[in-house]
Chains A and B, each alone.
Chain A
């Protein structure tokens, strides 16, 4: 079986993508609501990753 090595950034964004998709599908009733929720959720995940990344960067200086 192949082995892959993802960076923290890649792993968290992949996690965010699939989690947002699943949460959108199971929590909303219409396709438009699902798409909107999925994109919003992914945006918040990504924003949190960037925010925490910069916070840790400055915290380690």
Chain B
């Protein structure tokens, strides 16, 4: 027997998940969890902007040996998880070379971390929309 209640209809949680991906914290705002949404949005946006100002590298999918594939595809997924932030940055032509140096390296990690924050926010918004969490 599953420990979770049955999944509600897709129309109930899909808009929340889609908005949560597109706008950091947006899913929580849609579900009227305003202050949690504000904290998640703030953390994601600030980390992303810090990553940009540190000239972090944005991953593009690349294949090669297993480790290279995992790092580049994983990094790309985490970058795309930033939703509208990623889309705007790409639209304005943000592209930095993957060079050595601790500032750029931290910037790259900050961009990835911002995406991972948003993935956590998406999962949290889904749990709330599906009635698994308050």
Contacts and interface: CB of A to CB of B under 8 A. Distances in A.
Contacts of B52: 1
B55 A3 contact: yes
B123 A26 contact: yes
A26 B55 contact: no
Contacts of B40: 22, 25-26
A50 interface: no
B102 interface: yes
Contacts, number: 55
Nearest to A7: B102
* Size bracket of the B interface: 20 to 34
Interface string B39-52: 11001101100101
Interface stretch (B2-10, B71-79, B105-113): B105-113
Contacts of B39: 21-22, 25
B80 interface: no
B37 to A, nearest CB: 9
Interface in B85-130: 102-103, 106, 109-110, 113, 117, 120-121, 123-124
B30 interface: no
B124 A6 contact: no
Given A6-B54, A26-B124, A18 B43 contact: yes
Interface of B: 36, 39-40, 43-44, 46-47, 50, 52-55, 102-103, 106, 109-110, 113, 117, 120-121, 123-124, 133-134
Interface of A: 1-6, 8, 11, 14-15, 18-19, 21-23, 25-26, 29
